[in-house]
Amino acid sequence: MKVASGPGFALCSLLLLPLLQVPDSLSLAPEPRGHLCRTRPTDLVFVVDSSRSVRPVEFEKVKVFLSQVIESLDVGPNATRVGLVNYASTVKPEFPLRAHGSKASLLQAVRRIQPLSTGTMTGLALQFAITKALSDAEGGRTRSPDISKVVIVVTDGRPQDSVRDVSARARASGIELFAIGVGRVDKATLRQIASEPQDEHVDYVESYNVIEKLAKKFQEAFCVVSDLCATGDHDCEQVCVSSPGSYTCACHEGFTLNSDGKTCNVCRGGGSGSATDLVFLIDGSKSVRPENFELVKKFINQIVDTLDVSDRLAQVGLVQYSSSVRQEFPLGRFHTKKDIKAAVRNMSYMEKGTMTGAALKYLIDNSFTVSSGARPGAQKVGIVFTDGRSQDYINDAARKAKDLGFKMFAVGVGNAVEDELREIASEPVADHYFYTADFKTINQIGKKLQKKICVEEDPCACESILGFEAKVEGLLQALTRKLEAVSKRLAVLENRID
């Protein structure tokens, strides 16, 4: 391996050194605050399918989704402008980009939209959006690096015309295209519409009942990375830790973060840790797909990394389920993080149905028994991970697990049913169930779980590691921004020298 040297490296070292010096005063994990996101100026047009296959009650679900996305935007003549095109066999412009200068009037306009209930001319609707809805006459602004042009298409069927050529022209002109498919949609059509990378621009849900779950993805997609700590746009009492478009609060050594997530209290407590038996129940059904199953394994190991694995403290077991239930390894088989993580990585994908109820029953009857390695008196924690509706009854087993004193966490992705997640989760339910629309963001849930399953009796000792990790993460983000700035300055200098 070559080591960089010379004047340029020395200069960079001087610039980066302050960022790499991590203060030792930070010791507590930040509690997530409300998402404070600034959206860059965007001309955004929704293209919404209201053909006869979309029932009125389903169209209402689409309107809720649209409203949730709009709620997250900075709406205004100099910020984000929103237009909407409704289509079936014909195209109906509901409102142009110039029509609404406030979020309130936009939301009222969305509530008034009615379905057209005829055919599905998606290509025609896209052509209208690109040539008319985004035009200067309709309120579109002159294209520039500071203003994004975005079209979001929502459809549930196979179009009766072609979308390939018109979509290609739109992408070539700098318009960013998102394609959302529902139910029996033609997925090849979604790929023909969407911009690259397609895994970020194509989304599919099984029914309109779950389309609202995609709102969070688009809220994040429109969020501009903003260092709210640097600008002072926060209310942290002691320490602000910046993250893209948001921030978290933390406390200095000797203090603990209060439940309001912003103020700090003197940290008091004992010292020793307590024993925990933790079992993962992992959905290995065919809907997960192999590439996402690998992300699930990384999620498990992310949690394992935070545990104090030993015979006295944390033990880990792993159960995978689909149409049947398979114990991957019981509690106490592995005594080090390294061995547990290796076993998780070697787990093969079952790829069948979704029998969550049977998996919960297995947890109760087998996983937490003494014969399977469970320890009397140890806290019992179960983490259930699923991506879809259970094909069997879960209520009785879920209730029994909680009645037995098990601390149950429910993690859902994609088409997971939130009512089922809440049924599984311990009280308070809001603290024990998590949902994300996209497998790629489950690592964020992992970070939240790391703190919640931490079992140190002394909360200060428990949270110090997590707080340090959060601070380092914030510093690394700042380091990345500094590197980008240095790179730009060096490029300017090089151009001047040339």
Q: In what order do the strands lie in the sheet with 91-95?
A: 91-95, 81-87, 42-49, 148-155, 176-182, 202-205
Of 147, 154, 145, 151, residue with least CA distance to 175? 151
pTM comes to: 0.46
Residue with the two structure tokens 């090089």: 494
Identity of the residue numbered 495: N
Of 87, 82, 83, 85, residue with least CA distance to 54? 87
N-to-C CA span, the chain: 31
Greatest C-alpha distance within the chain: 75
Residue 233 has a pLDDT of: 60
Per-residue pLDDT of the chain (498 residues; tens, 9 = 90+): 333 434 333 323 323 333 333 333 333 333 333 344 567 789 999 999 999 999 999 999 999 999 999 988 888 898 899 999 999 999 999 999 999 988 889 999 999 999 999 999 999 999 999 999 999 999 999 888 888 999 999 999 899 999 999 999 999 999 999 999 999 899 999 999 999 999 889 999 989 988 988 888 887 777 765 566 765 666 788 888 876 556 788 877 656 677 677 777 653 333 345 788 999 999 999 888 888 899 999 989 888 887 888 888 889 999 999 999 999 999 999 999 999 999 999 999 998 889 999 999 999 999 999 999 999 888 899 999 998 899 999 999 999 999 999 999 999 888 888 889 999 999 988 888 888 877 777 777 777 776 666 544 344 445 545 554 555 556 556 666 666 665 666 666 666 565
Which ranges in 206-288 belong to alpha helices (H)?
Answer: 215-221, 228-231
Q: Which tokens sit at 189? A: 């059509």
Residue 455 has a pLDDT of: 41
Residue 133 has a pLDDT of: 95
Residue positions counted in the chain: 498
Q: Which tokens sit at 445? A: 């849930």
Q: Determine the Cα–Cα distance for residues 19 and 4; give it in Å rounded to an integer.
A: 19
Phi, psi (5° rounding) for residue 107?
A: -65, -35
Residue 440 has a pLDDT of: 79
- Sequence-distant (6+) residues with CB within 8 A of 471 are 22, 23, 26, 239, 241, 250
- Sequence-distant (6+) residues with CB within 8 A of 431 are 452
| 143 contacts 174 by C-beta, under 8 angstroms | yes
Please state, in angstroms and as integers, the Cα–Cα distance from residue 122 to each residue in 48, 92, 165, 239, following that order.
9, 12, 12, 50
Residue 97 has a pLDDT of: 96
- The three-state secondary structure class of 248 is strand
Q: Which tokens sit at 240? A: 């602000």
Residue 420 has a pLDDT of: 92
Residue 494 has a pLDDT of: 62
- The three-state secondary structure class of 319 is strand
Q: Which tokens sit at 353? A: 């149905």
Of 130, 223, 121, residue with least CA distance to 176? 130
Is residue 57 within a helix (H) or strand (E), and if so which, with residue range?
A: helix 56-71
The CA R_g of the chain, rounded to the nearest whole Å, is 26
Residue 195 has a pLDDT of: 95
| 341 contacts 301 by C-beta, under 8 angstroms | yes
